[in-house]
Chain A
Amino acid sequence: MTDLAATGALPKPKRDIVPVLLPAALALAMLPLIGSGSSWVTLTVASLAMGMMIFIMASGLTLVFGLMDVLNFGHGAFISVGAYVATLVLLPLATWVQADSLLTNLAVLAPAALLSMAVSGALGLVVERVLILPVYGQHLKQILMTTGGLIVAEQALYALWGPQIIPLPLPTSLRGSFIIGDIAIAKYRLLAMLVGLIVFVGIQLVLNRTKIGLLIRAGVENREMVEALGYRIRRLFLGVFMVGSGLAGLGGVMWALYREQVHASMGNDLTVLVFIVVIIGGLGSIGGCFIGALLVAMVANYGGFLVPKLALVSNILLMVAILMWRPRGLYAVTSR
């Protein structure tokens, strides 16, 4: 009997920290190349902020794929929809946006972001029920259906809002930079980093500390087994899909404010970036997605500073390099 009693701690899964160190190593390696410390800090902050925004957009996509083997080519539509919905709040309340008070600014930004998330989440519900439900398990049709959805969504945005670019100025108190010595850090980038970190920590907490998260992780690893245990994984998936769409909407708002403009083609442009991030990170892995987003943003920012011409293809080069090293992405979660 005594032989069977567990004495020591359970064997822990091996931690794979090499990918975690990668962004830090890349940032440090770039320091001597860039030379000036202040521009290095500016670039690094810019990369972190951009990476966080991309992560927010990509996180939903990677979870949806991991959990249900559904790749949503229409993910970019949620990004654009989120940005457009935000203009519904931000443009009529322009006086609040222009007011030079952080509280007033946030009082208008927060509802705008929440509304965007709610609308894109609700749209996610419709898309999942109408477009994806009929084609579960058929990759080819999923790609075609969601691509069709992307076309329809983009055109509907044009029809409702018109084809012109909508300018979306940043709130006054988020303009400008903090200046510490000769280092300038844009305020909005700090906010973007903060929101990104909150989302990342939030997702990690939900995934690792709650029962829902346990079910999601179990579902990613073995869907049939979770179903066999009596959980309705379809409903779980619908929830994940809606949250993922809502996060894409939030990302869209942040990106639109970052660029200070809204256009229906932004979803399309960002889809490519988001896909690269998801591939680099390993399909289905939140951690990998986070690191992938940081890497993509760093390569884009450092590359744009050092060799502007190279920045055009830097993402592809990064993806090739990562896939040479780990063909299934940084963290291979699913067995698929």
Chain B
Amino acid sequence: MMILSGDPPRSRTLTLILVAIIAALAITPLVFPGAKAMNVATKICIFAALVASYDLLLGYTGSVSFAHTMFYGIGSYAIAIALYSMGPSWAAVATGVVIGLPLAMLLALAIGLFSLRVEAIFFAMITLAVASAFLVLASQLSWLTGGEDGRSFQLPELLRPGTVLIPKSAFGFELNGRVLTYYLIFIASAAMILALLRVVNSPFGRVLQAIRENRFRAEALGFRTVFHLTYANCLAALIAASAGMLNALWLRYAGPDTSLSFSIMLDILLMVVIGGMGTIYGAIIGATIFILAQNYLQALMGAASNAAAEAGLPLLPGLLHPDRWLLWLGLLFIASVYFFPTGVVGRLRNPPRKSA
């Protein structure tokens, strides 16, 4: 209870699903040591933390930011540039962290002070504009960021796949640098999500929810809403930047497509809404569903597309093409905003009443 900050999942099914997801993530390197399974599991961990931090903004304060990938990208690039220019050492990782986190926070502070004074809609537009400018900057300043190609780099010795800490002969599975990196990411993501749970269940989190429900009333009660919103924005930016750092460590690469692009922003939005806004747990569910779908549903769609093509149906092969999976996810997104705005978690917590 303490570790969940007194905010348990509050639904038996939800608890079971969460335990299953976390257990599966924890044993992935032991059971499925293949590259694809590991990549999927890592992505779920990183995105669960990233989406949870976005939930702090969207679900708890009700402000839509389109700049979340910018902070994610700042984290990724900070690690990548530091390791690229200083060589594979822990000092370089530390430098990346020391430069990246404050940079993300300062930027979040500037955006917040500038645009959170007014309506949510204003904030959404300003963040969209700033994030797109940042994306252009990152892909143009190639002397620093490597431009469109991004930056590949080497990890410190300990985290490399070739480093074998416990050989396979000892326990039947190999503990190498890659597995170590995975667990580093797993634990860091879990810690960030728990920290976010702590934040939203603190008095500060209550104020955020009050602002979401009625900003005017919260202000009348004497809370400085701009301060609270900006603070939440900075916290979310810090966590997003940290998630970006983990992402860079796993990929050993940072580039515009993997860390900054607008499509990642849309992915995050989809994950939050599908999982359930304002719950933090929704982030884990949403990230898991989305990334599993992204990686395994596409194969299914490819098969369906081929079947439709062979059956000679018009239009369907194009619509079912694996690259068009976002089309279906977009429809699902609209349907879920409309029909169950509280997402999977909200549904499980408050199942629809059956008519007596």
Contact = CB atoms under 8 A, between A and B. Distances in A.
A61 B318 CA distance: 31
26 contacts: A73-B124, A135-B338, A140-B58, A140-B64, A144-B64, A144-B269, A144-B273, A148-B331, A151-B266, A151-B329, A158-B323, A159-B315, A159-B321, A271-B128, A272-B129, A272-B132, A276-B125, A279-B122, A279-B129, A309-B140, A312-B140, A315-B129, A316-B130, A320-B114, A323-B114, A327-B118
Given A159-B315, A275-B129, A276-B125, 6 more contacts: A140-B120, A151-B266, A151-B327, A159-B319, A278-B125, A312-B140
A313 interface: yes
Given A159-B318, A159-B327, A320-B114, A152 B334 contact: yes
B266 A313 contact: no
Interface residues of A, number: 41
B136 interface: yes
A319 B126 CA distance: 9
Contacts of A140: 58, 62, 64, 120
A78 B38 CA distance: 40
Interface in B124-148: 124-126, 128-130, 132-133, 136-137, 140
B125 A156 contact: no
A148 B121 contact: no
B335 to A, nearest CB: 9
A149 B315 CA distance: 20
Interface in A89-138: 131, 134-135
A271 B131 CA distance: 13
Contacts of B337: 135, 141, 144-145, 148
A163 interface: yes
Interface string B232-275: 00000000000000000000000000000010001001000100
B73 to A, nearest CB: 16
Contacts of A319: 126, 129
A223 B269 CA distance: 31
B341 interface: yes
B290 to A, nearest CB: 13
Interface in A279-336: 279, 309, 312-313, 315-316, 319-320, 323, 327-328, 336
A38 interface: no
Nearest to B333: A148
Chain A binding site: helix, strand, loop or mixed by DSSP? helix
Given A143-B121, A143-B124, A279-B125, A313 B319 contact: no
B8 interface: no
A312 B323 CA distance: 30
B133 A312 contact: yes
B324 A158 contact: yes
B326 interface: yes
A268 B269 contact: no
Q: How large is the interface on B (under 10, 10 to 19, 20 to 34, 35 or more residues)?
A: 35 or more
Contacts, number: 102
A135 B337 CA distance: 10
Contact of B137 (A131, A272, A312): A312
Contacts of B262: 268
Interface string B294-334: 00000000000000000000010011010110110111011
Given A272-B128, A275-B129, A313-B133, A139 B120 contact: yes
A134 B337 CA distance: 10
A279 B330 contact: no
A1 interface: no
B308 to A, nearest CB: 12
Contact of A155 (B120, B137, B324, B334): B324
Contacts of B130: 316
A293 B337 CA distance: 33
Nearest to A157: B327
B120 A312 contact: no
A148 B330 contact: yes
A39 interface: no
**Top 6 A-B pairs, shortest CB-CB distance:** A155-B327, A151-B330, A152-B330, A148-B334, A148-B333, A159-B318
A71 interface: yes
B50 to A, nearest CB: 18
Contacts of A155: 324, 326-327, 330
Contacts of A162: 318
A160 interface: yes
B341 A141 contact: yes
Interface string B15-34: 00000000000000000000
Contacts of A145: 334, 337-338
A160 B319 CA distance: 8
Contact of A147 (B137, B269, B323): B269
A149 B331 CA distance: 8
Interface in A139-189: 139-141, 143-145, 147-149, 151-152, 155-156, 158-160, 162-163
A276 B124 CA distance: 11
Interface string A73-97: 1000000000000000000000000
Interface string A43-77: 00000000000000000000000000001010000
Contacts of B64: 140, 143-144
Contacts of A73: 124
Nearest to B262: A268
A312 B140 CA distance: 9
A272 B262 CA distance: 11
Contacts of B62: 140
